[in-house]
Copies of this chain bind each other. A is one copy, B any other.
Amino acid sequence: MARIVMKFGGTSVKDIDRIRNVAQRVKAEVGAGNEVAVVVSAMAGVTNQLVDWTNQLSKLHDPREYDVVVASGEQVTSGLLAVGLQAIGVEARSWLGWQVPIRSNAVHGKARIESILAERIEAGFKRGEVAVVAGFQGVAEGERITTLGRGGSDTSAVALAAALKASRCDIYTDVDGVYTTDPRIVAKARKLDKITYEEMLELASLGAKVLQTRSVEMAMNHRVRLRVLSSFEDGPGTLVCDEDEIVEKSIVSGIAYSRDEAKITLTGVADRPGVAAAIFGPLAESSINVDMIVQNVSVDGTSTDITFTVGKADLDRAVHVITGRRDKLTFKDLKADKNVSKVSVIGVGMRSHAGVAQRMFSALADRSINIQAISTSEIKISVLIAEEYTELAVRALHTAYGLDGK
């Protein structure tokens, strides 16, 4: 007998037929002798509707009340799935965040889970009950409802799996696993059987929207074996696990891309110590994340150019912050460019292999794609390119690293 957590996203529970389908999948796991906790999202579209209503009433709404409104979506699904399970002879009860309880901090709208009491749910297991837990929500001090931020149900599931010491956390979604890259761009993209936490983390944060980044971090920290699989087709999906579990490591596991970048170039910046701090300090204070930074070598010894990237959504604010400090920063010109994208190759194997970056640069050069900036980590190389080359670059790299399927 194993203990498992199953998580179903919004498209998997978007109507009554799909909730019935989910109930059958849960029944199969119970029939196999497992203790099962299910985490559910709101029915697809419901959260957007609730957010829209709240915004209509006030753009600057009280996040505590926002949480009361939007947490209702998962409440509905948890009750409905419990009914759906009982209807096919599976003992079940719903659990809201405050009932478990799933304790979080009080950062309403994007709260972090602090602890989950496993006791009551485990008592339910002893009674032979499936626990249907409303995802995305918790409860903070003072008994106020909190929500974990968009996609937070993944985090609920992983946190619950950790608290229950589950042997597996299965994330059911509308794709059948994690791919070497976006199949909409590369027809030869392959589903991965296994991927390490570290790689998944890079893929998740780089725009592969299969799993919420925070949920992967948490799975890694608590060594929760995560599986991504389809709620519509049968199949083993992709296992996200420790490096040790993967026997055949490929150098590069996947190619990710993100169109969510914008580039700012400052020309004629005085080349003296403290300049970088003068630019990036104020951006950090305004909570603007800077990703890639390129500083050219000073030609004449007195001035240089600095290029960096921020999220597209932050671009206007970033420009505002920089120009607002014009008197303190010396620079000739500021150029902002939204037409860029970031393409990355990811793989734990690159730690022990040389020449990985070189292959990337050659593949792009062969297609005459200009690299505007580079950033690297131990298991990732990212380049900034003009947005219109995104698909071409992803396809070229997918082939160059031998990832193409048949």
Contact A68 B57, beta carbon cutoff 8 Å = no
Task: Give A28-62 interface residues, CB cut-off 8 Å to B.
Answer: 50, 53-54, 56-58, 61-62
Asked whether A69 is an interface residue with its Cβ less than 8 Å from the other chain, the reply is yes
Contact B56 A79, beta carbon cutoff 8 Å = no
Complex CA gap A99/B58 in Å reads 24
Complex CA gap A87/B145 in Å reads 21
Complex CA gap A204/B87 in Å reads 36
Task: Give A263-277 interface residues, CB cut-off 8 Å to B.
Answer: none
Contact A65 B50, beta carbon cutoff 8 Å = no
Complex CA gap A53/B80 in Å reads 8
Which of the segments A70-78, A179-187, A250-258 contacts the partner chain? Answer: A70-78
Which of B16, B64, B144 meets A57, CB within 8 Å?
A: B16
Residue of B whose beta carbon sits closest to that of A78: B68
Asked whether A399 is an interface residue with its Cβ less than 8 Å from the other chain, the reply is no
Asked whether A84 is an interface residue with its Cβ less than 8 Å from the other chain, the reply is yes
Given contact pairs A68-B78, A72-B79, enumerate 16 new A-B contacts (beta carbons under 8 Å). A16-B53, A20-B57, A50-B76, A54-B80, A57-B84, A58-B86, A58-B87, A61-B83, A62-B83, A65-B79, A65-B94, A68-B96, A69-B80, A75-B75, A96-B145, A98-B98
Complex CA gap A351/B67 in Å reads 54
Complex CA gap A76/B50 in Å reads 8
Contact A86 B62, beta carbon cutoff 8 Å = yes
A68-B78, A75-B68 given as contacts; is B19 within 8 A of A87 (CB)?
no
Contact B79 A16, beta carbon cutoff 8 Å = no
Asked whether A136 is an interface residue with its Cβ less than 8 Å from the other chain, the reply is no
A83 neighbours in B (Cβ, 8 Å): 54, 57-58, 61-62, 65-66, 69
Asked whether A93 is an interface residue with its Cβ less than 8 Å from the other chain, the reply is yes
**Between-chain CB contacts (< 8 Å), 8 pairs:** A53-B76, A58-B87, A61-B86, A61-B87, A62-B86, A65-B93, A68-B78, A69-B76
Q: How far is the CB of A89 from chain B (nearest CB, A)?
A: 11
Q: How far is the CB of A129 from chain B (nearest CB, A)?
A: 11
Residue of B whose beta carbon sits closest to that of A16: B56
A64 neighbours in B (Cβ, 8 Å): 93
Contact B57 A99, beta carbon cutoff 8 Å = no
Q: How far is the CB of A93 from chain B (nearest CB, A)?
A: 7
Task: Give A85-143 interface residues, CB cut-off 8 Å to B.
Answer: 86-87, 93-94, 96, 98-99, 143
